[in-house]
Amino acid sequence: MIQKGSADGVVGHWPEEYSKVLTDNGIEHIYYVAEGGYDFQVWKNGLYNFARRIFQ
């Protein structure tokens, strides 16, 4: 799972690059952009979605 905030000025284009490399190599993954920047609300959203998937 790769996530970034729509207004994230810290990670730059790297999440998209990681996702592209995984896709190009046929590796299943989830990539999404959440509303916000490099902040707690975005991290909380990512943690929630991660926990939902591993504790199904």
pLDDT digits (tens, 9 = 90+) for 4-52: 999 999 999 999 999 999 999 999 999 999 999 999 989 998 999 999 9
- Using CA atoms, how far residue 23 sits from 4, 18, 26, 30, 38, in Å, is 17, 9, 5, 10, 24
- pTM for the model stands at 0.79
- H/E stretch holding 33 reads strand 31-34
> What is residue 4's predicted lDDT score, i.e. its pLDDT?
94
